[in-house]
């Protein structure tokens, strides 16, 4: 059954049961005149409806998770010993053929199956006409397994439907019988709601766990093929020719990428820190209301522009401009130079620095400024010698957060930075970043077991660890700073 239909059916069942139970609660109230219900009839309705739908949904979800494991167990148990001994990569192909056959089993007639068994030349095309697409022609024993699997599957589906209906009906009758004047339906419903709210807030935890595990798992897989030290300390990035694995040492060195990432981020901060900080100072200390109402939204627009637009701008306008400009000065600036990506990225992170610094500078108590003015300092002297030192930890936090943005930024560097992994200190040349390589290793046709693909996850892990470290540190600084003046 499709998910949409299932959802619709659940909703309909919910409403129906809710209505039935509510009417029952009302009639009970009317029958026992003088004795009011503990909870209003609506809550009785919701209570019974939840009792009906939730167990059924739990069964459906549990089944959907368990069934593939059960089927794959049947499948691997039935594999001939010589196939079972093959490496995982080849086996997965066989399993794919069997799975596809089993999925489409119901669409095949007895004659079709006989034809598949004989393995004529057109079997694949015949099956494709019936929406069964196979990577290779099936062999006779695969057909047997596919039959078993498809039978097991239909049995399992039948069982699942039965158990689901049973759970729903059981839940319904349990709730139905409990509807009475004394039932504390509201408290029970509210407890279930609280549980729902709690699980929603746990999604954030699961996301983090998901990120850590998916990236870590694939990275470990990668490090089983390429030694960790080669990855971390290698100075050559050249993933293409190491498929054989024999002379792969040094080919997946992350250092050039790390260098490129940090170098571009450095230029970005070189642009963003002065501009962002000065705008923040001007806006919080000098600007009148009119300037603020124009400048603040302007910086917000800068923050709201998608990074792909910045990337496009760097690609079609800023890169060529810098190249021609450098040419007129006699400098050889590549259109995809460190400078191009760095400056455009710097503009992108200006708003991060300015808005955070603005908050932080505004949080410095007025009494500090007044004291400084009282001693005869000018406004800029006050800012430079009193306000900024007081706000320094917070500003450092803001800069670190911006740095983590710059390091994790993808689209600007994908479009505006180079693809050659150079270890160069010349800002007019191309370098590449970790994010660029993640994208280039993972777009196009993927083969999930090759180090060329898996290295993207190792790069992702490196990126995640670096940005996480920066974020935790920066948030810690900002938080301690905020508490200082509370």
Partner 1 sequence: MADITADPARTRARAWNSDEARARTRKRYAAERRFRMYGIAALCFATAFLVILFTTIIGTGWTAFLQSKFLLNVTFAEDVIAPDGKRDEQTLRLANWDKIARTALYQVIGANEADRKERKDANELLSRGIDVQLRDMVLASPDLIGQTKPVWLLAQGNVDALLKGAIDRDIPEDRRQLNNRQLAWVDAAVDKGILAKKFNTGLFTFGASSQPETAGLLVAIVGSFFMMLTVALLAVPIGVAAAIYLEEFAPKNRWTDLIEVNINNLAAVPSIVFGLLGLAVFISFMGLPRSASLVGGLVLTLMTLPTVIIASRAALTAVPPSIREGALGVGASKMQAVFHHVLPLALPGIMTGTILGLVQALGETAPLLMIGLVAFVVDVPSTPLEPATALPVQIYMWASSAERGFVERTAGATIVLLGFLFIMNALAVFLRRRFERRW
Tell me which residue has tokens 């595990």: 213
The runs of H, that is alpha helices, within 80-184 are 81-84, 88-103, 110-118, 123-129, 140-178
Closest to partner 1 by CB, 274 or 371: 274
Answer yes or no: are the C-beta atoms of 458 and 223 closer than 8 Å.
yes
Closest to partner 1 by CB, 63 or 176: 63
76, 177, 102, 95: which is closest to 136 by C-alpha? 95
**Least Å from the CB of residue 464 to partner 1:** 5
Answer yes or no: are the C-beta atoms of 276 and 349 closer than 8 Å.
yes
**Least Å from the CB of residue 195 to partner 1:** 10
Closest to partner 1 by CB, 311 or 418: 311
DSSP 436-463: HHHHHHHSSS--TTSHHHHHHHHHHHHH
Closest to partner 1 by CB, 335 or 383: 383
**Least Å from the CB of residue 236 to partner 1:** 23
**Least Å from the CB of residue 255 to partner 1:** 20
Which SS3 state, helix, strand or coil, does residue 365 take? coil
Closest to partner 1 by CB, 168 or 403: 403
Helix 41-78 vs helix 3-31: angle between axes, to the nearest 10 degrees?
Answer: 150
Give the C-alpha separation, 186 to 37, whole Å: 11
**Least Å from the CB of residue 80 to partner 1:** 25
Answer yes or no: are the C-beta atoms of 25 and 44 closer than 8 Å.
yes
DSSP 201-267: HHHHHHHHHHHHHHHHHHHHHHHTTS-HHHHHH---B-GGGGTTSTT-TTTB--HHHHHHHHHHHHH
Closest to partner 1 by CB, 116 or 477: 477
Closest to partner 1 by CB, 448 or 485: 448
**Least Å from the CB of residue 461 to partner 1:** 9
Which SS3 state, helix, strand or coil, does residue 419 take? coil
**Least Å from the CB of residue 401 to partner 1:** 7
């Amino acid at each position: 059954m499709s998910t949409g239909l299932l959802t619709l059916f659940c909703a309909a069942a919910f409403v129906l049961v809710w209505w039935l139970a509510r009417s029952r609660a009302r009639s009970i109230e009317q029958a026992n005149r003088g004795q009011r219900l503990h909870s209003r009839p609506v809550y009785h309705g919701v209570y019974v409806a939840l009792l009906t739908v939730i167990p059924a949904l739990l069964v459906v979800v549990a089944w959907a998770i368990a069934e593939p494991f059960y089927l794959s167990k049947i499948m691997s148990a039935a594999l001939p010993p010589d196939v079972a001994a093959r490496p995982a990569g080849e086996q997965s192909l066989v399993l794919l053929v069997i799975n596809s056959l089993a999925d489409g089993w119901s669409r095949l007639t007895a004659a079709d199956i006989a034809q598949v068994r004989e393995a004529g030349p057109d079997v694949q095309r015949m099956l494709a006409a019936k929406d069964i697409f196979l990577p290779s022609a099936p062999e006779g024993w695969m057909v047997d397994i596919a039959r078993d699997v498809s039978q097991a599957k239909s049995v399992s589906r039948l069982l699942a439907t039965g158990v689901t209906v049973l759970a729903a009906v059981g839940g319904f009758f349990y709730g139905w019988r409990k509807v009475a004047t004394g039932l504390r339906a509201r408290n029970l419903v509210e407890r279930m709601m609280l549980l729902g709210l709690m699980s929603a807030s746990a999604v954030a935890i699961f996301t983090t766990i998901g990120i850590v595990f998916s990236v870590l798992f694939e990275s470990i897989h990668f490090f089983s093929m390429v030694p960790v030290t080669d990855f971390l300390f290698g100075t050559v990035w050249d993933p293409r020719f190491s498929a054989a694995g024999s002379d792969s040492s040094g080919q997946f060195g992350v250092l050039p990428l790390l260098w490129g990432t940090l170098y571009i981020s450095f230029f970005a901060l070189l642009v963003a820190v002065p501009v962002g900080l000065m705008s923040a100072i001007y806006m919080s200390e000098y600007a009148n209301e009119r300037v603020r109402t124009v400048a603040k939204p302007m910086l917000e627009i800068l923050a709201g522009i998608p990074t792909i637009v910045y990337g496009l701008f760097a690609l079609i306008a800023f890169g060529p401009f810098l190249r021609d400009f450098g040419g007129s000065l006699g400098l050889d600036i590549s259109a995809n130079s460190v400078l191009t990506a760095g400056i455009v990225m710097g503009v992108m992170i200006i708003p991060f620095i300015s808005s955070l610094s603005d908050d932080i500078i505004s949080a410095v108590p007025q009494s500090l400024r007044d004291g400084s003015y009282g001693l005869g300092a000018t406004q800029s002297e006050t800012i430079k010698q009193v306000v900024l030192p007081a706000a320094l930890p917070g500003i450092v936090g803001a800069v670190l957060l911006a740095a983590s943005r710059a390091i994790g930024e993808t689209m600007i560097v994908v479009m505006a930075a180079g693809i050659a992994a150079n270890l160069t200190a010349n800002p007019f040349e191309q370098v590449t970043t970790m994010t660029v390589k993640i994208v280039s290793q993972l777009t196009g046709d993927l083969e999930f077991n090759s180090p060329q693909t898996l290295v993207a996850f190792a790069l992702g892990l490196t990126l995640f660890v670096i940005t996480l470290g920066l974020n935790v540190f920066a948030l810690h600084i900002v938080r301690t700073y905020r508490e200082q003046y509370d």
